[in-house]
Chain A
Amino acid sequence: MYHYNIYISGVGGQGIIKTSVIIGESAMKEDLPVVVGEIHGMSQRGGVVSTQMKLGESYSPLIEEGKANLLLAFEPLEALRAINMINPDSYVVMNTAPIYPFNIRQSEHPYPELSIIMDELKSRAKKVIAMDAEEMAKKAGHILSLNMVMLGGAVAVPGFPLDKKIIIKSMEDNLPEKSIPINMKAFEEGFSFCSAHIK
């Protein structure tokens, strides 16, 4: 049975839910069954946000441990937190710009070095593509287009099952009209960065 599982993780306010809606609607347009699991509520206030998506015949959106084909991590610490979702065939697309937990100075553990996070992910995944999506979003015109940089990166991953054109159509259906040019630029930035780094 065909399955493609995507685990998206990051921090509240980064546009993760919008990203999963765009992917989900694209799957629907391609007649590929899809279920998405989200957690709302408390997570809005700077907490962890994750969505889980299963494309292909599936009942539950919850991904079994180690069964994510793609980990789309909007924040390095959240990539590390999700490390048990991936396996040696998984791809990781990660934003390298950290968002420090508000109480990091009071925390038992310090924020891990980016190099440690990278090493851990590399030792568990087939390929880790790390990019400063925050910088790329700013360059595209607005920091809030970060999620579309990440989406562009995801679409470039080998095995990603949805057509780029359909994704772009769903972006147009789901984003405010005024923001489309910036978001499209951000998306293409992410797409070309990942395409270039996958080879």
Chain B
Amino acid sequence: MNIKEILTGQKMDKLFLMGNEAAVRGALEAGVAVASTYPGTPSSEIGDVLSVLAQEAGMYFEFSINEKVALEVAAAAAASGLRSFTFMKHVGVNVASDSLMSVAYTSVRGGMVILTADDPSMFSSQNEQDNRHYARLANIPLLEASNPQEVKDLMKYAYELSEEFQIPVILRTTTRVSHMRGIVELGPLAEIRKKGHFDKDPKRFVPVPATARIMHKNLVEKMNKLMVLSNNSSLNQVFDHEGRIGIITSGSAFNYVMDVVEENELPVNVLKLTFTYPFPEKKVLEFLEEMDRVLVVEEVDPIMEKEILAIIGKHGLKKRVYGKLDGTLPMIYEFNPDIVLEGFGRMMDVQLPDKGTFQTPVGIPNRPPTLCPGCPHRAAYFEVKRAAANLGIDDVIFPTDIGCYTLGIESPYEVADYLLSMGSSIGTSCGFSKATDQTVVSFIGDSTFFHAGIPPLINAVHNKNRFVLVILDNRTTAMTGGQPHSGLPRDGMGLEAPEISIPEIVKACGVKFMETINPLNVKKSQEIFEKALQFNEVAVVISQYPCMLIKGRDVKGKNVIIQVQDDKCTNCDTCVMELTCPAIYTQDDGKIRIDPLMCRKCNVCVQTCPEKAIRAKRVDEVGEEE
């Protein structure tokens, strides 16, 4: 499939789409005029697709500097009467949360949808927080999708709901829905209204104490009306069966439940909840009355389970509820059909047949992800550690941040000691610098620096901290797939845009030591790191070299090959054990080799080999490959 078919596909066409791609089609079918995000897996592909399609579709799309700004862009567009869409990974909502807490108070005019892509089991995240809590915290209606078709259909419905009640709507997916591919039947595209008009109404849009009190009262009334809707919504659906055993479920968990029920022909009634906040109390009560026992299957926190227990308490029912709170199902990580079946077995008190899970007689080595061959971050890590060692500093704290460079946690680099969230490298460096006498060297990427690094850097200078901040500027948002950011000369739709200079920001923050290095130049970089380590205040080193994945070419060109010279190599293992580039390996006969297909000819191993046994040679000099 060509990605453009998401835009050009006609009503009734079927496409094989990822959940994230289906969200884009849903936005187009809803006539979204303004869309905004900060990239974050598992939501990233929504932005990737929009950045290709937005212009042709006649909508506006941006990669905002962070999720809070993204949400604010969308809120203002919706206040101006346009349909707006903002989407982010679950932890991105934390960044946006300050404004999120007010946006239901102030209400919207055009429809506004906030898509949160949660990540149960943490495939690419620092936590597995359940963002259904945010719907409750912010008083915003919540829809949960189970598959790509539903993602698309719920997008459309969410805009109708949002406009009818003049309230934003949260659509929640999880990794298994965002990255699930399935057959999606398309609906018609909507006309996009390109410009709105903001009709002033400060009593409605400016929550100061006097107005906010009224707004909150209105919001509670709105949510009461929305509960009537969720109780009667056909999105909350019962799959009937004889008997008095029930399962209540939502989202991805619904898929596992249905596969288990159908595969094993279980005599179970299933209540699938899609419109899950305001919680459809009446609907659930009616279901409970027909059951003797129910299993609640949800990811990740026992949110519906507690709602159900509250309903049982409120109505004095005598029903047994099984779920996470009583240990029938695990409290953490994503589910799968096997886990759901085991939970069902526990509720029914039956022993399931042994699956015969098999332990291989040999240990299976892990395969952790790592920095790519030629990655400039690897060189910077090597140089910082060498610089500290040269100065006799052996106790260095390395606060790190969110990006590829977090992979510095792996041996042998071990340059990731502390991490909380986007931008936390700098804020926590301030704390370590005050709380200890240890040397602090922290790492942050370019996109992350723009996202959340600037206020803490100002804080660091103003409060007279001492640490080295390394800004790993690889000219892209690499980990999420290479999206642009404010430091690049193009915007989210591929148009020319002003490039914001990191050095100028650093200077403007009052930093007195600032140097820019090319990390592939080892000796010079090491010297600058040594100077930075001896500076008595905040020192910033901007390590600038484009990401090897984005650059798409070899540093030294196609005619060069990097080779180990066996007569000089003493097997000191510096390259394999200290630099540890994936292209360098030890053969069965003990000889060190460099995989010519993987090598990007960055020349760092050449410069760091103590025996000068690695050399860059012209291909014609080498002749035929060995």
Contacts and interface: CB of A to CB of B under 8 A. Distances in A.
Q: Do A and B come from one complex?
A: yes
Interface of A: 1, 11-12, 20-21, 24-25, 28, 33-48, 57-62, 64-66, 77-78, 80-81, 83-84, 100-112, 116, 120, 124, 143, 173-174
Closest 6 CB pairs of A and B: A41-B124, A109-B363, A47-B369, A60-B255, A41-B41, A45-B369
Given A36-B180, A40-B124, A28 B369 contact: no
B345 to A, nearest CB: 14
21 contacts: A21-B16, A34-B181, A36-B181, A39-B179, A41-B41, A41-B123, A41-B124, A42-B369, A46-B370, A48-B367, A59-B254, A60-B255, A61-B180, A61-B181, A62-B256, A62-B259, A101-B367, A102-B582, A104-B365, A111-B365, A116-B362
Interface in B341-383: 341, 355-358, 360-372
Interface in B442-465: none
Size category of the binding interface on chain B = 35 or more
A66 to B, nearest CB: 6
Nearest to A174: B1
A191 to B, nearest CB: 23
A12 B371 CA distance: 12
A44 B181 contact: no
A28 B124 contact: no
Given A36-B180, A60-B337, A77-B364, A46 B369 contact: yes
B365 A64 contact: no
B180 A37 contact: yes
B66 interface: no
A4 to B, nearest CB: 14
A56 B16 CA distance: 15
A64 B407 CA distance: 31
Given A65-B338, A102-B580, 9 more contacts: A20-B181, A39-B179, A40-B44, A47-B367, A64-B336, A80-B360, A80-B362, A108-B365, A173-B1
Interface in B170-208: 175-176, 179-183
Contacts of B337: 60, 62, 64
Given A45-B370, A59-B258, A103-B580, A77 B362 contact: no
Contacts of A81: 364
A81 B371 CA distance: 22
A102 B366 CA distance: 10
Nearest to A116: B362
A80 B179 CA distance: 25
A109 B362 contact: yes
Interface in B134-177: 146-147, 175-176
B92 to A, nearest CB: 14
A118 to B, nearest CB: 12
A28 B412 CA distance: 46
A107 B577 CA distance: 11
B362 A35 contact: no
B361 A120 contact: yes
Contacts of A42: 41, 123-124, 369, 479
Contacts of B573: 105
Given A44-B369, A62-B256, A35 B181 contact: yes
B404 interface: yes
B365 A45 contact: no
B372 A46 contact: yes
Contact of A108 (B175, B254, B363): B363
Interface in B285-321: none
A129 to B, nearest CB: 20
Contact of A47 (B147, B357, B368, B479): B368
B103 to A, nearest CB: 28
B555 interface: no
B368 A39 contact: no
Contacts of B356: 66
Interface of B: 1-2, 14, 16, 18, 41-42, 44-45, 123-124, 146-147, 175-176, 179-183, 252, 254-256, 258-259, 262-263, 336-338, 341, 355-358, 360-372, 404, 407, 410-412, 479-481, 573, 576-577, 580-582, 585-586, 597
Nearest to A24: B16
Nearest to B124: A41
B236 to A, nearest CB: 17
Contacts of B372: 45-46
A169 to B, nearest CB: 12
A167 to B, nearest CB: 14
Contacts of A57: 262
B423 to A, nearest CB: 20
Contacts of B585: 100, 104
Contacts of B44: 40-41
A79 B598 CA distance: 22
B1 A45 contact: no
Nearest to B355: A65
Contacts of B357: 65, 84
Contacts of A124: 358
A107 B365 contact: yes
Given A45-B370, A77-B367, A101-B366, A39 B355 contact: no
A12 B497 CA distance: 33
Nearest to B367: A101
B182 A1 contact: no
B147 A35 contact: yes
Most buried by B among A35, A40, A58, A102: A102
Contacts of B262: 1, 57
A53 B262 CA distance: 18
A106 B411 CA distance: 8
B179 A37 contact: yes
A94 to B, nearest CB: 15
Contacts of B370: 45-47, 102-103
A36 B60 CA distance: 31
Given A28-B14, A106-B412, A112-B364, A37 B176 contact: yes
Nearest to B123: A39
Given A36-B182, A45-B372, A46-B367, A105 B355 contact: no
Most buried by A among B45, B146, B363: B363
B181 A38 contact: yes
A120 B341 CA distance: 28
A12 B412 CA distance: 21
B360 A83 contact: yes
